[in-house]
Amino acid sequence: MIQRLLPFFTLIALFIILAIASPNFLTSTNLSSVVRQTAVINIMALGMTLIIISGGIDLSVGSIVALGGLIGATAMEKKWGIPAGMAVGLLIGTACGFANGLMITSLRINPFIVTLGTMGIFRGLALIFSNGLPVHDIPPSFSYLGEGTLLGVPFVLWILLFCAVLMHVLLEHTRLGRYAFSIGSNPDAAFYAGVPVRFDTIAVYSIAGLLTGLAGMIEASRLMTGQPTGGQGYELQAIAAVVIGGGSLRGGEGSVLGTLVGAFIMGLLSNGSDLLGTNPYWQQVIIGAVIILAVSVDELRKRRMSS
C-alpha cells in the first residue's frame, strides 16, 4: 500500500523541497503558472489513461492538439463565434479519436502502428489546411479559457478538475469504464464474455479524442494562436504521466488520481528546474530518469505482490 502511494509522496516531497529551496515557488503567480502549464498535458493524459487501461496507446494526440486547436481557431477567425469555434475543436478531436478506434478495430492493426500513422496524417492535415501558417485572428476574450481566473484560481484548473471527476466516474462507475479494464486485462476473455469489444474500443479512443480536442483549444487560447506545428512531443508527456501514476502499458491498470499526480510531478520538476536555474538541457535528463525510476519501482511492487 505504501508503495502504491509512492508517486503521491514523491509529489508532496517535491513540493516541500521546492518550497524550501526557492522563495518564489509558493507564490500564487508561480503556482498558477504551473497549473496552466500542466493543464494541457493533464487533460490529454486523462484520455490517455482510459486508452492505456483498455490496453491501447495513442501516439497521435500531439497532432490532434494541433489539428483541433488550429481548425477551432480558424472557425473563430471566420467569425463563427467562440462557442461554435470551441465546438469545432472538440468535434475535430473526437473525429480523430473515432478514426483511430475505427482503424484499430476494423483493420486489426496494433494501436501503436495505427496511431503512429495518424500522428503523421493529422499533423500533415493541419499543415495542409493552414498552408503551414499559424492562425492569429481570434476574439481577445477567448484567452479567458487558458489564462482566465475563476474564484481565485486559474479557470483551467476548474476544467481539469471537472474532466478528472468525469473520467474517474467513467472508469470506476460506468459499464464502459469496466469494459475498458476487462478489454485491457484480457481482450479474449472479454470477447468470450460478450463484451462489445469493438464498440467500446472505438468509444474509448473517441472520448480520448474529445479530451485532446479540448486540450487543443486550451493550448490555442493560451498562445492565442492556432499552431499547425503545436503539440509536438505532447503524446509522450501524456503517456509518461499515465505510467508514472501507475498505469501499465500491458493494460488493465491505471487511475485518474495516479495520472494527475504523474502529470504534476513532471510539471513541478520542470518548474523547479526553472526556478533553481538548472540547465534546461538537464531538465530532460531528470524527467527521463524519473519516468524510468517510477515505472521500475512500480514493477518491483507488482512482482512482489504476485510472488
Q: Which residues bind other proteins (CB under 8 A)?
A: 173-176, 178-179, 181-182, 185-186, 188-196, 252-253, 306
Instruction: Identify which of 205, 167, 176 has the alpha carbon closest to the alpha carbon of residue 59.
Output: 205
Least Å from the CB of residue 168 to other proteins:
13
55 or 267: CB nearest other proteins = 55
The H or E element spanning position 153 is strand 153-154
Is there a contact between 75 and 130 (Cβ–Cβ < 8 Å)?
no
Instruction: Identify which of 209, 215, 247, 252 has the alpha carbon closest to the alpha carbon of residue 231.
Output: 215
Least Å from the CB of residue 171 to other proteins:
11
Least Å from the CB of residue 202 to other proteins:
15
178 or 301: CB nearest other proteins = 178
Cell of 170: 467513467
Least Å from the CB of residue 102 to other proteins:
18
Distance CA 199, CA 181 (A): 14
11 or 190: CB nearest other proteins = 190
79 or 175: CB nearest other proteins = 175
Half-sphere exposure of 221 (CA within 13 A, CB side): 25
Is there a contact between 258 and 6 (Cβ–Cβ < 8 Å)?
no
Least Å from the CB of residue 191 to other proteins:
6
Residues with Cβ within 8 Å of 42's Cβ and at least 6 positions away in sequence, in order, are 160, 164, 241, 259, 260, 263, 264
Q: How far is CA 128 from the centre of its chain?
A: 25
Least Å from the CB of residue 183 to other proteins:
9
Q: Which residue has the cell 503523421?
A: 120
Least Å from the CB of residue 242 to other proteins:
16
40 or 183: CB nearest other proteins = 183
42 or 182: CB nearest other proteins = 182
Distance CA 21, CA 297 (A): 26
Cell of 68: 483541433
Half-sphere exposure of 171 (CA within 13 A, CB side): 27
142 or 179: CB nearest other proteins = 179
